Every structure is written in structure tokens, then in C-alpha cells.
A and B are shown apart, each in its own frame.
Chain A
Amino acid sequence: MITCLGDLFFPEVGVAMVKLLRRLGVTVEFPEGQTCCGMPLFNSGYHPDAAAVAARTVDLFAGSEHVVVPSGSCAWMVKAEYPGLLAHDAGRRAAALALAARTRELSQFLVEVLGVETVASSFKGRVTYHDSCHLLRGLGESRCPRALLQGVKGVELVELPGADECCGFGGSFSVRLPEVSTAILGKKLDNVERTGADCLVACDAGCLMQMGGGLSRRRSRVRALHLAQVLAGEEKA
């Protein structure tokens, strides 16, 4: 599952993820009809609409053995919310639960399904990691991404103060309350720059848009990258 933001704005992340998975011996398919997990509709309270998108997604991925998502929030949406959204859809109720069980965020897939924590990558640099809210609190994951980063020989991982604090994206929140969103972001980026890292890594396109957008606006030398890009050894063009 590539995600809407991934498809449109960060295709290099999807490409990196595919190359990485293939290198690890995984056969990768891409159900072409996919668009989005529906979270933007869900979070803003448009639940019947979100349910329609969920139904479509459940159908699309029915035949997939594993579904891997380079996004904590999308993985969370499928795992935590799809069953509830489709609870009254007699035809899809079971399929939603099944999909929830088969879907994993990328770092969790690598570590828990493939049993991989050390990935050979050409990436070199001082890196700091931001815990995306839905990956951290929704899926309870803070170890796998860090383990994978530390597993890359050329990576020096520096802990980010306040790593578990929100970056201020929050989906539509970022444009409904742009000043508050920016103030929260400012705090995050001050912490990032203080680490002396060259690169900020996260597992969520939304966070990367927000933090990357802020870093670029302040002409920071810090680059925002997705975990997949570090592990695959490719850099943003």
C-alpha cells in the first residue's frame, strides 16, 4: 500500500521500499486501483465517506498475503479503524478484520515478519529519528525503526529530544490551524537542529511533508528522509 501522499509527493519512497523488499527476497505487487486509506475523511468526521473508501480498499487487497505500508498512520487506519467502519457491512466485516491482521507498517514488517534488523545499505550519515504519533501510540512501535537504523553500518543514530512529541501535522489540522501547527513544528525543528544530525528520519509521509517543509523553508542543512530511503541506500533527488 503506497498511500496517497506517497504516490503523489514521495514516489521515491515507494520505489525505495519496493527495491528494499525485493533485495530481501520478497515478491512485491501493487494493486493498481489503490488511492488512499481514507484517514483524512475519517479524522475530519466524514465517516460514511471513509467507510466507502475502506470498503474499496478491503476489496482491492483481498488477495494479498501481506500488506506493507510505508506509513504508520495508514497502517493504523487499516488495523484499528477499518473493522469498526465496516462492522455493519455484512459482506466485508470478516475481510476487514483479516486485512487488519495482514497489514503492517514497513519497519514492523521487516523486523517481525522477515526477522531482519540489519540491512546492508550504502547510506552514510548522522541521523535522528522522529516518532510519528500513530506509529508510536497507535501501533505501539518505537523500537523497530531505531533498530533498523542502528543496523546500518554507515549510520550514526542520535536520539532526538522530544522525539515522541507531535510534529504538528495532524492532517487537516495543519491548514485549519496553520499558526499553531507551525509553532509546534518550530519546537520540533529546533530540537532536530540541536542534535547536529544531517538527516531527519520518519516513517510517515505526513510528518515528512510537515517537517521537510519546515526545514526547507528555514534553509536548514538537515534533510528529511523516509526510513525506506535510508535502508535502500537512495537519497531524495
Chain B
Amino acid sequence: MATRAEFLERIRREARRTDGLFTAATATRPARPEEAAEAVRRQMAERWPEALDLFRREFDRVGGVFHRAADPAEVPSVVLEIAREEGATAVVAWDPPVLGLDLRPRLVAEGLAVAVAASDPADETARRRHREESARAQIGVTGADLVLAETGTLILLSGRGRPRSTSLLPDTHVAVFDRSRLVESLAQVGILLEALHVDPARSMSGAMINFITGPSRTADIELTLTRGVHGPKHVHAIFVAAP
């Protein structure tokens, strides 16, 4: 096998043989991403109501179900309602400090099993247990790091106390967010992603970012649309109104 140097040299040689097909440019990146991100946040602090309206429409369009809670204390009731509708008996959730609320008191009292992700450095036993809990649960409750209105998309970072499978294994995914998460356009998401990666070790504790736009779907059998192929069949978003 070629070494890295040999491999790249071959490509360099080919690229040098021509000026290319036309004068071309990559996209213009923000010169100071963190400042640009701050500007987006300031903009959204004003525009969040419009963004929320747009999000509701687009989220509905991709098959999501929207809910509203006045404050974090109301969220468990909304989750309970969803659980009742789905006949769910087990819930898995992000670590309460990460989620910003603890579902356990209310839900356990109503007879549901609730597992939460641990934020401590995990060992094999903890990993295995979490995987089983996640696989058993019918509902997975997460936060949302960004909520993209233009496309009805929830953007989730993985990491400590915020595992990937919570929004993937259960049949139903519920994401909780407030106004500070809303952005309007993909272009803004681009700016925020640039900012996030300026010092990734500081800004992210995990290796994955997921953009989730509605439930899992396929049309591979005679072009008939079906949901819940491998990922969740249902996606809910709970907007917490309190600032």
C-alpha cells in the first residue's frame, strides 16, 4: 500500500497538470466564527417567535408532533400524556442536569420505569446496562442543542450524559427545547457549526452531531412511505415557553 506521502503526491501531480475547469471558490467562511455565532444568537433573541412559528409548520410537515409547556415543571406531564397515548411503560432520558429537568419523580409515581444516562465516565457494565435500558424503553427524552426552523430539524450533540441511542432506539423520541435553541436557516447552522469547532474539546464532549428531521422513514418497498424503519416512528417536540 502507498504511504500517505506517495498517495497525496500522486494527487498533487495530477492537480498540477491542469488549471482546472474554471476559476472556482470555496464558500466564504466567517472570519471570526465565535463573533458571528454571537451575532446569530442576538438576532434570534429578537426573532425567536417567528422562528417558532416556522418550526411548528415545518415540523408538522415532516410528521413531528408539537407540544407546549409553560415551564420545565410542566414537561413531565406532557411526557406522561405521550406515554399514555402510546401505551408506554418505560422511558429513557438524558442525564437530568443536561436535560434541565428530572422526569423521574412524576413518571415513576405514575408507574413508569425511567432510566437516565449517567454523566460519569462510564465503564463496561454501565455501558451494557444503558444499552439494555435504551433498547427496552418505548420513549426516549432528550434536549435539542439547536432547533432549525426552516426544515423542522432537531440538532443534537452527543456526549456526557447525552447518549446517541436515546433519540434512536425507542419507538418514540421526545425533544425538549426553549427559545434559546431556535435558529432560522441552514446558513445560520453553518455559522454555529464553525463556532462549535473552533475549540471542539471545550464545546463538545461527544463525537457525534445528529440532525433529526422527523421520524425514520423509507419508501424502498414499491415507493410506499413507511415510518420507523430503524429509528423512531414518532417524534415529538416540547417547547418550554418560560425564558
State yes or no: do A and B touch (Cβ within 8 Å): no
Instruction: List residues of A whose CB falls within 8 A of some B CB.
Output: none
The chain B residues found within 8 Å of chain A, CB to CB, are none
